[in-house]
Amino acid sequence: METLLLNQIRRTGFSQFLRSLYLIGCLFSFNACLLNPIVRDLLCPGKDPSSQSLFYLWALLANSNSMVELSQSWAGIYKGDSLQLKAQYYSYGSKTDSTFQWSSSNNSVATVDANGLVQSIGNGKVWITATAADGKASASSDITVYTGYVYTSLNLISYVGHLTMAVNTGILSANATTFAGNSTDPNGIVTDPAGKYLYTGDFGTATISQFIINQSTGGLTFNTPATVAAGTNPRNLVITPDGKYLYLASQGTQTIRAYRINTDGTLTFINSYSTVIGHTQIQISRNGNFIFYLSPTLTEVISYRINNTDGTLTQAGISPTFPNNGSGHVSTHPNGNFIYVGSYPALMIFGLDSETGSLSFVDSVFHGMSINSTAIHPSGLFYYLIHINEGIIACYTVDRKTGKISYSSSVTGYSGNSLRFMVIDPTGRYAYVADNNTSDLFQFSINQITGELTSMGTVNPGGAQWNLTFL
């Protein structure tokens, strides 16, 4: 009996040794895969494996020995154009032959054939996914289909400007302006994701103007009714990615107002939510689940959860406290893991829990200048600060894993202007900045390696601009 027991122990120990040896072999064979930064991003978005414990790495090996890598993880496609995506399958860090099953999350935005050829159909965002033949791994590319229209609120003359971008050069040409109504003073401006409707927050008349976008020309006509009540001094607006709800920062009533977007593009008021302080800015998370705004003390960011069934809001989280004199424009990272708050004297970076809406401190970066707005590149690699009083646009590089940023470059010489807001086209090649002091709308090309801006001159959309949106 003792001999049998001893042999069983020896056999068990030897089996455990073989299993350990096999796991170590997997570790080293997977090392090449982990060293590939693209692979690392896909396996561990927002995380840095080099900083994780051995336990994390072993858990990774146990659960993710297969992966798919796409030729592009994001892209902007001009409406009507196509894009060829390519996929590569990895097993234990080695390239492996495989066929793929391709799919689109929304065929009304873009379709994809069996070879990964993406055909754009209509405005909006879509995920194109490649799944390996064995079903063990998949990867998705975040695609935005655009028409190249820029709309801007010409608040001083109560008009909306409409411009068209030349796809090959990025240069804007001005089209006809649309009258928003006497003394409307349109400030905020937004389009629905499908590009059918446009809305402005009319600071002077306590309304939201409702427009229909001509799908052939981009021209605007009033919807019926032309306006809905918006509370005193409405400012900027955001729309959920699914196009179901619109939210407005109502400065005069110190509330966030929620609206349902009906099938005909008209708005139905849902409810208002007190902020105890007048706001010009609100922001929405990339997944459309949360709204962000500054607390009454201006020294925290509060997140509201959006009920996707009825559009109502409930408070979800409050960020750690930070010093601030009143600025607070929020940008969200494309990966959904970070938000950036353009505050004074330093900008703040917070981690976002996409499930709970809770916010955690990541970093602060001193800049010591005024802030009006911020913008982030669709790649997630570059972040921009609009210093309104100094007339400076500063560029920072972004570490997509940690969310931290480093100063890179600036464009200067706009101290006589009143720089307001920036939009970046979905391809990430061009940026446009509104100026509320002159009729000059500034145009820039973007260096895809460094994020540096280079002036491409100005265009006159018909008057001084408050805000702008890209469709």
Q: By the 8 A CB rule, do 237 and 188 touch?
A: yes
The pair of structure tokens assigned to 205 is 């008349």
Distance between CA atoms of residues 109 and 105, nearest Å: 9
| pLDDT of the chain, 471 residues: tens digit per residue | 434 333 443 444 444 444 444 444 444 344 434 434 344 444 444 444 333 444 444 444 434 588 999 999 999 999 999 999 999 999 888 899 899 999 999 999 999 999 999 999 999 999 999 999 999 999 999 999 999 999 999 999 999 999 999 999 999 999 999 999 999 999 999 999 999 999 999 999 999 999 999 999 999 999 999 999 999 999 999 999 999 999 999 999 999 999 999 999 999 999 999 998 887 889 999 999 999 998 888 899 999 999 999 999 999 999 999 998 877 899 999 999 999 999 999 999 999 999 999 999 999 999 999 999 999 999 999 999 999 999 999 999 999 999 999 999 999 999 888 999 999 999 999 999 999 999 999 999 999 999 999 999 999 999 999 999 999
3-state SS record for 253-319 = CCEEEEEEECCCCCEEEEEEEECCCCCCCCEECCCCCEEEEECCCCCCEEEEEECCCCCCEEEEEEC
DSSP string of 322-360? ---SS--EEEE-TTSSEEEEE-SSEEEEEEE-TTT--EE
Are β-strands 149-154 and 159-165 bridged in parallel, bridged antiparallel, or unpaired? antiparallel
Q: Is 10 helix (H, G, I), strand (E, B) or coil?
A: helix
Determine contact, residues 186/199, Cβ cutoff 8 Å: no
Q: Give the chain's radius of gyration (CA, Å).
A: 25
Tokens at residue 339, please?
């938000």
Cβ atoms of residues 239 and 193 within 8 Å: yes
Residues 39/45/46/52 CA torsion (nearest 10 deg): -70
The reported pTM is 0.85
Rounded-to-integer distance, Cα 200 and Cα 178, Å: 12
Token duo for residue 364: 């602060």
